A and B are shown apart, each in its own frame.
Chain A
Amino acid sequence: MRIFRLFFVFFRIGLMNELQYRANFFIQLLKTAFNLTWSLAAVAVVFSHTSDLNGWQPAELVALLGVFVLMSGLIGVVVQPSMERLIDDVRQGTLDFTLTKPEEAQILVSIGQVRVWRLVDVVVGPIVIGVALVHLDREIGLEDALQFGVTLVAGSVIMYSFWLMLSTIAFWFIRIENILIIFHSMYEAARWPITIYPGWLRTALTFLVPVAFAVTVPSEAIVGRLSEGYLHGAIALAAAMLVGSRLFWRLGLKQYSGASA
């Protein structure tokens, strides 16, 4: 519960910070609307030439797009800004200020920075999913909704752990801002169901940069085409990566010398 209280405190600080720049809310709203429009246009172009994409109906692909937006929002609100700040702190030696606080450092760096306006994506994503589901032929049962919830949480945990591991590399290599670009390039691939990609790329998107579990698997759950194996796989991977990233973080922290402080 402590984590939630801490998160709430940081969230309030972030909110107060950003309320100074209220116009940014409208800019974010415009950006989200613009991004959504062109993503939908791309889907429309593809479906002007076919009625299904590897078994995915148009409405199902729109639902996937909704999950993509939602997950981008979740990463963009807290994970990405906090990790960018962590990398910066390691380089500048200002991580000292975090480490001297009487609270678990991993928690502090994981919620150190909040970009409140990105919540727009977190709101718009589910709306898109909802609209898509209305247009779906089949009924969404309680089981589908439950699986969606579980895979979404698992996907978020996987993304968080992945970002933490990526940022922890900074303890050894210092200048790694550009590594984050790899993530963004690979994340773009998640706009489409991972199942369409050839084996080598699918493997990379599942295990190397696990965006498959962030977007495709929850989408499969909500449209009711998730196989048992992936459900269990997502939970297992989330647990493994949470532990793994924790160990890696502790290992990295030992390297920290507060170089320039």
Chain B
Amino acid sequence: MSRFTDIYTTLFKISVAIMLQYRAVLIIWLIGLVLQPIIYLVVWLTVAETQGGQVGDFDKGGLAAYFIVLMIVNHATFDWHMYEMGYRVRTGAFSPLLLQPLHPIHRDIIENVAYKFITLSVMLPAVFLLIWLFEPTFGAPMWAVAAFVPALLLAFLVRFFVEWSLALLAFWITDTSGLNQMYAVASIFLMGQMAPLSLMPQWVQFAAGVLPFRWMVAFPVELLLGRLSPEQVVDGFLMQALWLGLGLAGLALTWNRAARRYSAVGA
């Protein structure tokens, strides 16, 4: 166990140092992450305005709260491996990673956490700025706030392992841009990125709940807003656990095959 702690702390320090070299790039990547929720927040605020201040079960303060929390949860849970893996396989950049006596996924987890750790310094001011600009109303009971922490952690793990397993498809199809585009669109609709799922058509809500998407983002958001009953929260945790298990199983099943297929195309 202490071997892993050593590895993790060392790699974490390296990751932070590498990322701090290109500070401007970190902020540039954040612009999209901050802007997208603002765009859809404004769209839905405009809809609420024409409808007399209410749309579905959201008033203006509720919408603002939803999209601000969405921004935080999305930032906490997102990862870029579906894009990175295609690049690694195509260019042969995977070779040195495979030579190390450590599963590459560890490095990816650490990089992800390091990125979030650094960008928090930009994300937090952005959150406060948005709270000041859009005046959200929060009203969650204490237990929901407490349950939010494990829900967010599980959401991160589910998203990480499911997307990492999907990213492994790059070993078979090499050009992943089509797959990534489809996944990105699915996540806009099914994770609750463009609208709270309760504003979506019934069948979209159903698909979001059966697939892992709702449990990656929308579930912790709704939880922190106090919009879920205790029973729904328990169900949510069970679904998260189920998808985490499926994600890990998918990973275990494909990793060895994928690594064996690897031919370092561009190297």
Binding site for B on A (CB under 8 A): 27, 30-31, 34-35, 38, 41-42, 45-46, 48-54, 178-179, 181-182, 184-186, 188-189, 191-192, 196-198, 201
Contact = CB atoms under 8 A, between A and B. Distances in A.
Contacts, number: 79
A198 B133 contact: yes
Contacts of A51: 50
Interface stretch (B160-168, B187-195, B232-240): B187-195
22 contacts: A35-B181, A38-B188, A42-B189, A42-B194, A45-B194, A46-B44, A46-B47, A48-B201, A49-B199, A50-B50, A52-B50, A53-B43, A178-B25, A178-B29, A181-B29, A181-B32, A185-B35, A188-B36, A192-B39, A196-B43, A198-B42, A198-B133
B38 interface: yes
A180 B43 CA distance: 25
B193 to A, nearest CB: 10
Q: Is the interface of B mostly helix, strand, loop or mixed?
A: helix
Contacts of B182: 34
Contacts of B178: 27, 30-31
Contact of A201 (B25, B38, B185, B189): B38
Contacts of B199: 45, 49
Contacts of A38: 185, 188-189
Contacts of A192: 39, 42-43
Contact of A49 (B36, B47, B189): B47
A188 B39 contact: yes
B181 A31 contact: yes
Interface of B: 24-25, 28-29, 31-32, 35-36, 38-39, 42-44, 46-47, 49-51, 55-56, 133, 178, 181-182, 185, 188-189, 194-195, 199-201
B46 A34 contact: no
A34 B42 contact: no
Given A53-B43, A201-B38, 6 more contacts: A31-B178, A51-B50, A53-B47, A178-B24, A181-B29, A198-B42
A240 B42 CA distance: 31
A31 B175 CA distance: 14
Contact of B46 (A41, A45, A54): A54
Contact of B185 (A34, A53, A186): A34
B13 to A, nearest CB: 24
A190 to B, nearest CB: 10
A50 B201 CA distance: 14
Across the A-B interface, give the 7 residue pairs with the lowest CB-CB distance, nearest first.
A185-B32, A50-B47, A196-B46, A185-B31, A38-B185, A178-B28, A178-B25
A189 B35 contact: yes
A48 B44 CA distance: 12
Contacts of A27: 178
Contact of B28 (A46, A179, A191): A179
A38 B43 CA distance: 16
B55 A50 contact: yes
